[in-house]
A and B are shown apart, each in its own frame.
Chain A
């Protein structure tokens, strides 16, 4: 079995699976059980200064479901911990004492004043916690009070607070980023400039999951009104993956450790975050949906896969795919593929036909006895048929070999790489040297 132990900015944990700062990490009872179930670490539910905040007393979650009511997206209007600071600190200390091998990171959110941070940091340090995470991400409630994403959306504030923290504590500082921003590289650069040891992302995405059409109010509804919440779960994974990759390949932030968060539900999701540059992952919704036990699938799956591939450490996986993330303009325009339908596994549902015929390139033919075939003369290899086919592996994209004739253009496939920057249709194309 592959060794899953990780060292993230000096914080050691037996595996790269941490519970993200959220209800699963809001109290001693939960965290002890999480550690018993096998979680490598936790980021304790965000602490604030007393008087502690309060939560709504009605529903705080909304959801989006897929087939079979599988939870795809969760939205919440919960705030940071609603328990007194000293209770949390006492519990953190007790749990860390009993589980010295697990990562114990404490999430913090206090007003944007140096004194506030100066006050809370020594208290956290005293618990024996391994590090702190600055919650600059919460998109609802706290942001209205000048905290959370209100800070995370202003790079200058991030830099300032990160710097204060580095000055006033010896603990590693992780800055948690909000995705509710146009370009994630700016806050990441600011965190680095402020001296942060790492960034973690993403926090939740501002969202309204649904509208109650009887009461005409957004869900979750509190006494006839709803407020936007933060979206998470499998639905946000693509957004998170892109943001992680953007930071990993940005020249200014390259090498900055990243804790990947957002929709991690299986070992595969975790491996993808690692491949795009994360050093570990954090999980919230999957645990809230299926309970702490899900980590066991993540641990066994990741180690199985690493064994298969011959990776011996998580660090070896981390960042493997980053060199292959590029900009559109550098994609090889001489790469030509065609869709292929495997007739043996085709169940004749015709969804590929409907998709291609109605909305794409009319490149699939349908015979009276429901045989579906790709018309190479029309196929642009867009992949839509692959995506709508209910049978995995039935439709595949097969690249044409160099020299083979592309029946759509009538031209042989050029063996050489050529991208948009040199394409004749590009008005700004740089002429290739004669």
Chain B
């Protein structure tokens, strides 16, 4: 194709095939065995290690690193999966600089933490490369549990329930399971079809049936699910997006960032994805960064990310910001969108400078225009609709303890439930803990009934 980054408008094929391959290949290639041993040797095997406390799933990090060090990466993988069945995905997508690696004492000592994320990938890859699934199911309990949403929360919950001997039916509105692992995470973090391979590997535990293309609120109703199952877990994520409430949103080439990212993830040939020459991304979180970076990687000439508050308040970590800047994304902070300009197709976005004061965020008089032929809105996702009868806490499903909702027999976890950061690893933790609570509740009841 003859398009280049300079071609005006929104077009596909701005780069050479080699450039696409390079841009969307593994951003952090896996450690080979030698590199893993060198990295593992740096672990101090801390007492009551701060990295463990910093991991939402509380993986025993010093133990698994010592297992790698002693030549037992498969035992290391088992240590990880015991706590986090999606340890493979987490190794790729966790913002480790704010989690485990941020707490590593060698970060304090030398500013160079042990490469926990990459070591975790080394160990989990070793286990997943084997043909066998590392866990067995307990004897069947005869209980059947409905899990709605096949994202990290739902999958972690389903796996733990299956391990305890329950049968699980996982239902998801999309065509493929995986949730944002499949439709959201940046392509270069999880290339090579890893998300589907991981789901397939996880399901090998047995006892889990997956039904796709069925939505709660459309094909499914919560009341019926409760009736037909011993318990229900909701891990439906945040399927809705916040509205910009700025004039001109209806112009052509103004999109939700999450849709752009999902399309990109699903495209087997990235050359077919059209991108603007001048792209503006509105927002300051992980989604904004991923949209901006990937627009750049698709060959956009100028990509500008504009966030209304200060840099410190951005949802994207310092590491993510740096990553965006290193890819050539320009980041503007302290400016809010006023209107989207255009005549049919978008031509630019007008922003006003903001000030943070007692009244919250206010816009002062001065404004500026960033020219754009494509705009991505990344100002947050929200719960699409609260399933009937559930109490909400703000905009999320209210839960207490390990994911108990206001309805008996209904648990919720992951992004859709209140509490925790909106991260893959938090979703896994909440799904896992809800499964343990469901198990305890169901089996405790059985014991009581038997007496």
Which chain A residues have a beta carbon within 8 Å of chain B's beta carbons? 67-69, 347-351, 353-354, 366, 370, 390-391
B320 close to chain A: CB less than 8 A: no
Contact of B105 among A67, A69, A348, A366 (CB under 8 A): A348
Contact of A390 among B37, B41, B44, B50 (CB under 8 A): B44
Evaluate whether A351 and B45 lie within 8 angstroms (CB atoms) in the complex, with A68-B38, A69-B37 already known.
yes
Nearest A residue to B41, CB-CB = A67
Whole-angstrom distance between the Cβ of A86 and the nearest chain B Cβ: 46
Inter-subunit contact B108/A348 (CB<8 Å): yes
Q: Which residues of B contact A351 (CB under 8 A)?
A: 44-47
Q: Which residues of A contact B41 (CB under 8 A)?
A: 67-69
Other than the given A347-B106, A348-B108, A350-B49, 14 more pairs (CB < 8 A) read A67-B42, A68-B38, A69-B37, A69-B38, A347-B108, A348-B105, A349-B46, A349-B47, A349-B49, A350-B48, A351-B44, A353-B47, A366-B48, A370-B50
Q: Which residues of B contact A390 (CB under 8 A)?
A: 44, 109
In the bound complex, CA of A69 to CA of B71 (Å): 13
Nearest B residue to A372, CB-CB = B47
Q: Which residues of B contact A366 (CB under 8 A)?
A: 47-48
Q: Which residues of A contact B49 (CB under 8 A)?
A: 349-350
Inter-subunit contact B38/A354 (CB<8 Å): no
Which chain B residues have a beta carbon within 8 Å of chain A's beta carbons? 37-38, 41-42, 44-50, 105-106, 108-109
Whole-angstrom distance between the Cβ of B217 and the nearest chain A Cβ: 45
Whole-angstrom distance between the Cβ of B71 and the nearest chain A Cβ: 11
Whole-angstrom distance between the Cβ of B437 and the nearest chain A Cβ: 27
In the bound complex, CA of A370 to CA of B104 (Å): 13
A-B contact number at CB 8 A: 36
In the bound complex, CA of A366 to CA of B46 (Å): 13
Would you list 12 pairs from A and B whose C-beta atoms are within 8 A, ordered by A residue?
Answer: A68-B41, A69-B38, A347-B109, A349-B44, A349-B47, A349-B105, A350-B46, A350-B47, A351-B44, A353-B47, A354-B47, A366-B48
Q: Which residues of A contact B37 (CB under 8 A)?
A: 69
Nearest B residue to A350, CB-CB = B47
In the bound complex, CA of A390 to CA of B42 (Å): 11
Contact of B109 among A68, A370, A391 (CB under 8 A): A391
Whole-angstrom distance between the Cβ of A51 and the nearest chain B Cβ: 44
In the bound complex, CA of A68 to CA of B39 (Å): 8
In the bound complex, CA of A20 to CA of B132 (Å): 54
The 6 closest A-B pairs by CB, nearest first: A350-B47, A354-B47, A67-B41, A347-B105, A349-B46, A347-B109
Whole-angstrom distance between the Cβ of B439 and the nearest chain A Cβ: 31
Nearest B residue to A348, CB-CB = B105
Nearest B residue to A69, CB-CB = B37
Whole-angstrom distance between the Cβ of A365 and the nearest chain B Cβ: 13
In the bound complex, CA of A366 to CA of B45 (Å): 17
Q: Which residues of A contact B48 (CB under 8 A)?
A: 350, 366
The residue among B41, B49, B105, B108 with the most chain A CB atoms within 10 A of its own CB is B105
Whole-angstrom distance between the Cβ of B100 and the nearest chain A Cβ: 14
In the bound complex, CA of A353 to CA of B47 (Å): 7
Q: Which residues of A contact B106 (CB under 8 A)?
A: 347
In the bound complex, CA of A22 to CA of B351 (Å): 77
Whole-angstrom distance between the Cβ of B338 and the nearest chain A Cβ: 45
Nearest B residue to A388, CB-CB = B44
Q: Which residues of B contact A349 (CB under 8 A)?
A: 44, 46-47, 49, 105
In the bound complex, CA of A81 to CA of B48 (Å): 54
Nearest B residue to A358, CB-CB = B47
Q: Which residues of A contact B42 (CB under 8 A)?
A: 67
Whole-angstrom distance between the Cβ of B43 and the nearest chain A Cβ: 10
In the bound complex, CA of A349 to CA of B49 (Å): 7
